[in-house]
């Protein structure tokens, strides 16, 4: 077989082994005009009929180099030659980096993927194809080793990550350049790739060549390390998933709860991985969380119930029955003060809908008491019905003999977690705490058989 046929077969093998492309997909190619990008475009062109795919080129001019327009022109020319729809836009990565106070390299990455996804949204069954190659993978692994990455980081880049595919990650740079030159395919060299200002360039141009003097097969060794890490990660992930099924009590956008007893029984190593999973779910990534941060979270086990460990706006809290992760935010409950109700009234407070009504003694005796409380009132002319959350010093009549109990002590006795105490509405009648909603009513205003003024308050959780 000729070199071209071998390359195409290898390309198809990578696609099928990693399930990168399906028939009738639209492939949005991140087209830079560089050799890797041109290699990817021309290989996709070779298999477009085989997979029945629609190919679209997307080029973002970062306005970073004086010769950036040459890249743009080459992408346009390639699109015209191969008859591919081509989208081109211009956004300054330097201006964005300055505005967001991030590196120019990171700014360029963010702008590119935002641009690619804006195009992807125009098509059905669309994927974004980027031109990372085998050398890029080796460099990424080494970069992460230098930065002290763990097993997860050593996996480096995946062939497929959600809507992004990397179909040429099995090809070395030398294979790519040889193919382009043999087939007389034009490409443009980005001269900034030859500068050592960026970490990746320094690794590519200086560090790897020095190590290859000792081990000429060093790049392959790095890629092999990535493959091993991916295999081990799958095994560990399965263990994590099985444990999560046992300990996960609640999972929503801003809150994750672990069963306290189950979580405390597992090893610290597994605790660390489950904490990382929780952080990743709440934040979308774990980029700002170091090994030390995770270790600090694990120390919460030695603290008392109700204690918190806070990192930025993420809170990890130990409670009676759970360990809770949640994002600190201003909630409706904290900003809400109090509401007053009239007789035969309906009002919403926090996540609850309250109703008041006057009822007969027969209704009181025969109706369900679920989510309802009844009070016998002597005078309807001067009645005050108020709902609010707790404040310091609240108490209620807990005994028939009139003995009072602090609300705080009630919460402690009932093992109600601190995180939940501020969310429980309190019903006051004539300034007396009459109902800890859903938990306990006071001994005040008890209904007697001869009462004619019976107030019913019902509640419905929204």
- Write out the binding residues for ATP: 32-37
| Cβ-defined contacts of 360-365 (< 8 Å, 24+) | 360/454, 361/447, 361/449, 361/450, 361/451, 361/452, 361/454, 363/454, 363/456, 364/447, 364/454, 364/456
Sign of the C-alpha dihedral computed for residues 32, 37, 42 and 44 taken in this order: negative
Q: Could you tell me whether strands 314-318 and 322-327 are parallel, antiparallel, or unpaired per DSSP bridges?
A: antiparallel
Can you tell me whether residue 456 is helix, strand or coil? Answer: strand
Matching residue, tokens 């360039």 = 201
Q: How many CB atoms lie within 10 A of CB 202?
A: 14
Residue numbers belonging to the annotated binding site:
32-37
C-beta separation of 336 from 389 below 8 A: yes
Beta carbons of 44 and 29 less than 8 angstroms apart: yes
CA–CA separation, 416 and 375 (whole Å): 26
Q: How many angstroms separate the CA atoms of 105 and 86, rounded?
A: 24
- CA atoms in the 13 A half-sphere facing the CB of 37: 24
Q: Which helix (H) or strand (E) holds 248?
A: strand 248-252
- Alpha-carbon distance 324 to 283, whole Å? 15
- Phi and psi (nearest 5°) for 456? -110, 130
What is the full DSSP assignment across 273-308?
HHHHHHHHHHHS--TT--HHHHHHHHGGGGSPTT-E
């Amino acid at each position: 077989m000729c070199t071209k046929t071998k390359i195409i077969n290898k390309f198809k093998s990578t696609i099928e082994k990693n399930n990168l492309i399906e028939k009738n997909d639209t492939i949005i190619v991140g087209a830079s005009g560089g050799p890797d990008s041109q290699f990817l475009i021309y290989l996709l062109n070779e298999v477009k009929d085989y997979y029945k795919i629609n190919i679209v080129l997307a080029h973002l001019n970062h306005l970073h180099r004086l010769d950036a327009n040459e890249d743009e022109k080459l992408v346009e020319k390639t699109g015209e030659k191969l008859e591919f729809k081509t989208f081109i836009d211009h956004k300054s990565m330097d201006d964005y980096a300055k505005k967001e106070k991030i590196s120019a390299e990171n700014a360029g990455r963010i702008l590119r993927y935002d641009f690619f996804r804006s195009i992807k949204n125009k098509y059905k069954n669309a994927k974004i194809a980027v031109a990372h190659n085998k050398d890029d993978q080796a460099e990424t692994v080494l970069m992460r080793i230098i930065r002290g990455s763990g097993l997860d980081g050593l996996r480096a880049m995946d062939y497929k990550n959600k809507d992004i595919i990397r179909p040429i990650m099995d090809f070395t740079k030398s294979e790519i350049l040889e193919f382009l030159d043999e087939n007389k395919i034009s490409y443009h060299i980005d001269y900034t790739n030859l500068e050592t200002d960026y970490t990746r360039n320094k690794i590519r141009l200086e560090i790897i060549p020095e190590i290859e003097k000792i081990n000429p097969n060093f790049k392959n060794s790095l890629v092999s390390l990535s493959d091993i890490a991916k295999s081990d990660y799958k095994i560990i992930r399965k263990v994590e998933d099985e444990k999560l099924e046992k300990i996960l009590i609640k999972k929503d956008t801003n809150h994750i709860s672990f069963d306290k007893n189950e979580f405390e029984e597992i090893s610290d190593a597994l605790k660390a991985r489950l904490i990382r999973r929780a952080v990743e779910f709440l934040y979308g990534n774990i980029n700002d969380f170091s090994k030390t941060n995770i270790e600090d979270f694990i120390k919460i086990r030695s603290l008392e119930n109700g204690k918190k460990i806070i990192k930025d706006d993420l809170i990890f809290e130990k409670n009676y029955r759970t360990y809770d992760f949640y994002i600190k935010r201003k909630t409706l409950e904290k900003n809400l003060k109090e509401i007053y109700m009239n007789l035969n009234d309906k009002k919403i407070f926090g996540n609850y809908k309250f109703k008041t009504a006057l009822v007969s003694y027969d209704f009181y005796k025969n109706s369900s008491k679920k989510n309802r409380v009844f009070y016998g009132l002597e005078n309807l002319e001067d009645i005050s019905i108020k709902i609010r959350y707790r404040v310091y010093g609240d108490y209620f009549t807990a005994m028939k003999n009139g003995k009072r109990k602090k609300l705080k002590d009630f919460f402690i006795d009932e093992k109600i977690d601190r995180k939940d105490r501020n969310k429980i509405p309190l019903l006051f009648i004539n300034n007396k705490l009459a109902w800890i909603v859903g938990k306990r009513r006071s001994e005040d205003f008890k209904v007697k058989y001869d009462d004619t003024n019976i107030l019913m308050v019902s509640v419905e959780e929204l």
